[in-house]
Amino acid sequence: MWRRTWIIYRKELIESLRDRRTLIAMLLVPLLLYPVLMIIIIQALQVEKGRRERDVYKIALPNEAHERWLRAILEADTEEEKSRASQTRPAGSIRPDITAQQFRIIVTHRALEDAVRGGDAAVAVQLDPPPGETLDANGENRQAIVYYDPAEYLSEVAFRAFARMLDRHRDRVVLDRLRRVGLTADTLSPLQIVERSVASPQKLGGALLGQILPFLLVVMTATGAIYPAIDLTAGERERGTLETLMVTPVPIAQIVAGKFLVVVTIAILSTLLNLASMGATIRFGGIGQAIAQSAPAAGQIEIPFRVLPIVLVVMVPFAVLFSAVMLAVCSFARTFKEAQNYMTPVIIAAMVPAMLVSYMPSIRLVGAWTVLPVANVVVLLRELFLEHYDVPAMLLAFTATTLYAATAVVIATRLYGQEAVLFSDVGSYKTLLRRRLFRPAPTPSVSTALFLVAVVFPLSFYWQTTFATPAMSAERLRFMTIVLMLACFLAPPIALAWYLKLDPRETFALRPPSSRAMLAAVLIAVAAPILALTLARAQQRLFPPSDEMIRALADQQTLMLELPIGSVLLTFAILPGLCEEVLFRGWLLAGLRNVLHPATRCIIVGLVFGLFHTDLYRILSTSLIGMLLAYVVTASGSLLPAIIIHAGHNGLALLVAKHEPFAHWMGVADDSPAWIVPAAAIVAVIGLALIRSARPPADSAPTA
């Protein structure tokens, strides 16, 4: 029995892992989704923070007396801000800090409500009683009636900032009144509250994970099992192999067991990858630090990694449960499309209880919550992250989920046995692992090319975020860059190309370029830094970066330029030019060669190249450069011109930053003539024309 089940299991697992949709749901989504989301969210928040800190907020007042009163407050608050300037906000903070200088006073004769409602002002203020000739107005207490529109974001932001400013003004008035009567501020504080958090950094990190991770794990585990469950049921039925099953002397139970184990295996692998990717993204991506800096009272945050293996064990019966449910539901589907429609209520059945429990943090693992399907898993995971180890309740919840899973397996076996579909042949897992069984190929397949890039992306991202510290030295930055280039960008594609018996000449475009292509590479390399810098400046005018991001980029550039010029060019120009081209314009471009139009694959390679640089402000220019380099390789048939352009672009940009006279010579200084940019564009166009005319040999030309 077990031998036949094992044969079915191996065969179906191999076929499922060869299915592109299964690989995307199980591997690419977990590896790419969370780092990309983290990058987008953090940088978007920083962009919004920078925008809010540059905006001007208008305050409407009814008359000149109010204007004198408010100007005095703004001036006093500005002086107070200067004393607070030394207490800079920590790097990575995402909360905007609006100053008094960003407010503009307008005196209007319209009703204050209408001024705010019509958008003439963000907020409006009226004092009751009105202000007199002096700021304190004989010591009278007043009401400040502030009008704002909570439905308008700018008005809401201005109101919050202005309210904090009025609070500071109130405190200054109170202190002034105390000094007049010979008292101090301590008079108003007979009892001071001092916070002392008893939660460990691991528990705080667990509370952070407990808010988002259980829900995502439940949804992604169910999602990971969708495609193999559909393919092993409706897919087999749609392929018309049901008749073969009827004449096969294999018990239905063994067939179902093998196919079911495949779905469970993929679901568990999907859970493992999602858990690892989410934990690594939160740990190395700086989300916890950003939250701690935005809410200092929370204290230091650490991720409780020791809990993650237990979480994975808890998710096993849940994966079994939903794998069986999906097999049972898909048994009724006659086509792949129909099975996809059936999966919608299954996913909703997982999402609804998980979402409800996620929004109810007061729920504990007691009573009915220990046996409620799906909800008990979410609560159990949250308790684990919070380090609340109620062992009897946890065992009860785990046992209940296991029981539900076993029941679902029995039901799925009976339902699937009525419409089961059998395998057509027996595959061998050895063909996926043993190099001697691989057939030589000119280039990697699309799935292989994208898989390697998807693996390299989080590795490079985690490497940079883990070892990049505020106190980093120039030597450390050089070491990080060298290891990143060699271990992430150069070694993996070369090693995998050898292991898969790929043709290195075709995979990495290792052909000698023509003399026209080499001349074009030099021309484009000279023009590219000028055009890229011009584009970056235009982009910054449209979407100005935050001060923190500007400081971070400036600090990194300063570290780079502390090294000797030879070391700078070798580490940050020549090495990236070689290693990144091997991965992107070699490996990835070759993998897309036979399935996409040349223009489409150049665009995709450029966008992926821009994404790898994880910088929202440079992604446009970097992506365009990536597209240009992909076109150069496609048109010339050789990787060498792209390496020259890439290294030349980086090298000239570094020389411009390091030597001011060189910046004037290149024409990229602030006082450079206006004709420099058009001239660079003409040189680039000439280079592209030469590249276009430098066709590769007919026997090696890339195919559309």
507 and 647 housed in the same domain: yes
Q: How confident is the model at residue 584 (pLDDT cuts 50, 70, 90)?
A: very high
Q: How confident is the model at residue 669 (pLDDT cuts 50, 70, 90)?
A: low
pLDDT at position 523, please?
92
- Of residues 579 and 288, the one with the higher pLDDT is 579
pLDDT at position 305, please?
74
**Mean pLDDT within 64-79:** 88
pLDDT at position 533, please?
81
**Mean pLDDT within 404-412:** 76
Whether residue 26 has pLDDT greater than 90: no
pLDDT at position 647, please?
93
Residue 511 CB contacts under 8 Å (≥ 6 apart), including other chains: 505, 637, 638, 696, 697, 700
Gyration radius of the chain over CA positions: 32
* Of 11-15, 161-165, 677-681, minimum mean pLDDT range: 11-15
296 and 342 housed in the same domain: yes
Of 214, 210, 213, 209, give the one whose Cα is nearest residue 353.
Answer: 214
pLDDT at position 421, please?
38
Whether residue 243 has pLDDT greater than 60: no
pLDDT at position 123, please?
94
Long-range interactions of 193-201: CB distance < 8 A, separation 24+: 195/297, 197/297, 197/298, 197/299, 199/299, 200/302, 201/299, 201/300, 201/301, 201/302
CATH number of the CATH domain containing 72: 3.40.190
Residue 678 forms part of a structural domain: yes
- Amino acid symbol at 514: S
- Residues of the domain holding 152: 56-185
- Of residues 655 and 505, the one with the higher pLDDT is 505
Residue 95, Ramachandran bin (φ over 0: left; ψ between -120 and 50: alpha; else beta)? beta
pTM exceeds 0.75 for this model:
no
- Of residues 329 and 517, the one with the higher pLDDT is 517
Whether residue 586 has pLDDT greater than 90: yes
For 222, other C-beta atoms within 10 Å of its C-beta total 28
Structure token digits, residue 526: 């000279």
Q: How many domains does the chain have?
A: 3
pLDDT at position 442, please?
93
353 and 275 housed in the same domain: yes
Residue 593 CB contacts under 8 Å (≥ 6 apart), including other chains: 443, 601, 702, 703
415 and 489 housed in the same domain: no
Whether residue 428 has pLDDT greater than 50: no
Q: How far apart are CA 704 and CA 701, in angstroms?
A: 10
pLDDT at position 28, please?
64
pLDDT at position 419, please?
41
Residue 531 forms part of a structural domain: yes
Residue 469 forms part of a structural domain: no
**Mean pLDDT within 269-278:** 81
- Of residues 326 and 59, the one with the higher pLDDT is 59
Q: How confident is the model at residue 422 (pLDDT cuts 50, 70, 90)?
A: very low
13 and 61 housed in the same domain: no
274 and 173 housed in the same domain: no
pLDDT at position 585, please?
94
* Stated length of the chain: 704
235 and 384 housed in the same domain: yes
180 and 124 housed in the same domain: yes
111 and 75 housed in the same domain: yes
* Of 183-187, 439-443, 545-549, 620-624, minimum mean pLDDT range: 545-549
Residue 233 CB contacts under 8 Å (≥ 6 apart), including other chains: 327, 330, 331, 333, 339, 416, 419, 421
pLDDT at position 617, please?
66
Residue 691 forms part of a structural domain: yes
484 and 394 housed in the same domain: no
**Mean pLDDT within 202-212:** 76
Residue 282 forms part of a structural domain: yes
Residue 160 forms part of a structural domain: yes
487 and 351 housed in the same domain: no
- Of residues 143 and 328, the one with the higher pLDDT is 143
Q: How confident is the model at residue 469 (pLDDT cuts 50, 70, 90)?
A: low
pLDDT at position 437, please?
72
At which of 397, 429, 461 does a domain end? Answer: 429
610 and 565 housed in the same domain: yes
pLDDT in tens, 112-161: 999 999 889 999 999 988 887 655 545 678 889 999 999 888 899 899 99
Residue 446 forms part of a structural domain: no
SS3 551: helix
